[in-house]
Each structure stands twice: as C-alpha cells, then as structure tokens.
Amino acid sequence: MSEQFLFRNIIENLFNVRDNIVQGNTINNDLTINIHRHQGWKLKLNSPVILVFSALILIVHLSYQTRYSYQIMEFFSVPREFLFTNINHYLRTISFVLGHRSWNEVASNLTLILLIGPITEERYGSLQLIVMILLTAFISGLVQSFLFDGGVIGASCVVYMLMLAASFVNTRKGEVPITFVIVMIVYVAGGLSALSQNGQESLVPQIVGGLCGAVFVVFGLARKVESTR
C-alpha cells in the first residue's frame, strides 16, 4: 500500500512540473543549482590552430629519436643554399619552424606560443593566423638562406610574430599602443646588437618574425574579427 502511495505521489509531482513548464512558471532554483553542479567543468577547444601547431612541434621533436633522425632534422631546417628549382627547399623554408634542437627550446617556445597564440587566434581568426604563420616562416627562411648559411631551426620567428600581433589585440583603428613601440625598439635593438657582436645568425628569424608581426597589424594585413562569444 505504501509503495502505491509513493508511486502516485511521484506521478503527481511529475504532472505538476509539466504544468509549471507549460504555464511559464519558474521551477525550484535548487533543482537548477543541482543540475549545474552535476554538469561540472567542460574543456573548450579555444584555439585549434595553435593547438595543432604545438602538437606538430612535439611530434617532430619526438621523431628525432627514430632511426631516420638525420633525414628528419634535415627536412625541418632551412636549406643552406636555396634553389628555386627544388620544391623541397620551398617546403623547408616553412617546415623549419617545427624543428628544435633540444627539449629546452621546445618548452621555451611552446610556453610562449600557448600563452600568446590563443589571444591572437581569437582576435584575428584561425584562417588569418594560418596565413600569418606560413608567411612569417617562409620570409624568415628565405632571408636566412640567402644571407647566411642556413641550417636554422625553431619556431622563434612565429613566437615574435605572435608577440607583436598580440600587442594590437585591444587597440582601435588608428591607435598604436606605446607598449608596441617599446617592444619593437628594445627587441630589434637587442637582436641587432647580439647579431653584430656575436654573429648569432639564429637571431635573424626572430627579428624577421617580429617585423612580420608588426607589418601584419600596422598595415592592416591582419584584420580583427568579431568575437563569437
């Protein structure tokens, strides 16, 4: 008898909830709180391009442990003498940003990429960011191959492109943030000084990457997109 009574009460409560919904009445707040509490936190794929780019860097570096490490390292480095008739050289002027010499370099670059990259991708869009990365890598690779002996690897040019582009994220059209000017002066001056004193050709992609980021945002080559939030 008690079971029938309990079952009848459950059915009546369900019908009452249905009537409240139909009439537009508010349901008990405790129910809403409990529902949200059980849902918990959700992971959000906020920056697909940056995540894929970071994953490729890790995969390439892990591949150095295979028996084909020499061939892999050669492909992911700037060609020492660029040949316009060699398609492989065009690929290497872009692919070199995925190669790194040590785990310290990987950790250093990935930290900055994962910190700055999502902000830039959200503001300029995934498609524009892909174009910016490819152009930065290609221009940096060409400059390195033509002016020096090549052989440079690493994503530092992309890192500094992202840094300069991110400095314009919250600015309006026609405005130049003072932090951008300071970063440009300090970074370029420091890079040129180290290059002239120590002959560190590896700094060239960094300088070129920073200049690419500046050109993209200052001259409107990278246009901000409206937030979808």
Q: What is the CA radius of gyration of the chain?
A: 27
Domain assignment present for residue 30? The answer is: no
Binned at pLDDT 50, 70 and 90, residue 65 comes out as confident
Domain that residue 98 falls in: 48-218
Cα–Cα distances (Å) from 226 to 93, 121, 123, 196, 229, in that order, read 32, 12, 7, 43, 9
Domain assignment present for residue 90? The answer is: yes
CB 223 within 8 A of CB 207: no
Domain assignment present for residue 77? The answer is: yes
CATH number (domain holding residue 128): 1.20.1540.10
Domain assignment present for residue 70? The answer is: yes
SS3 of 149-170: the string is CCCCCCCHHHHHHHHHHHCCCC
Cα–Cα distance measured from residue 127 to residue 146, given in angstroms and rounded to the nearest whole number: 29
Find the angle CA(150)-CA(131)-CA(60) to the nearest 5 degrees: 50
At 52 the pLDDT is: 96
In this prediction, residues 142-159 reach a mean pLDDT of: 85
Determine what percent of the chain falls in helix, strand and coil, rounding each to the nearest 5: 70, 0, 30
For the chain, give the mean pLDDT. Answer: 78
- What single-letter amino acid sits at 5? F
In this prediction, residues 206-223 reach a mean pLDDT of: 81
Cα–Cα distance measured from residue 79 to residue 151, given in angstroms and rounded to the nearest whole number: 6
pLDDT at 189 over 50: yes
Domain assignment present for residue 22? The answer is: no
- Contacts of residue 200, Cβ cutoff 8 Å, sequence gap at least 6: 194
Domain assignment present for residue 88? The answer is: yes
Domain assignment present for residue 40? The answer is: no
Q: What is the pTM of this model?
A: 0.73
In this prediction, residues 159-185 reach a mean pLDDT of: 76
At 35 the pLDDT is: 42
Q: Tokens for 101?
A: 């010499």
The total of structural domains in the chain comes to 1
Dump pLDDT digits (tens) for 28-41: 444 444 444 445 67
Cα–Cα distance measured from residue 5 to residue 2, given in angstroms and rounded to the nearest whole number: 5
Cα–Cα distance measured from residue 9 to residue 91, given in angstroms and rounded to the nearest whole number: 71
pLDDT at 155 over 90: yes
Domain assignment present for residue 20? The answer is: no
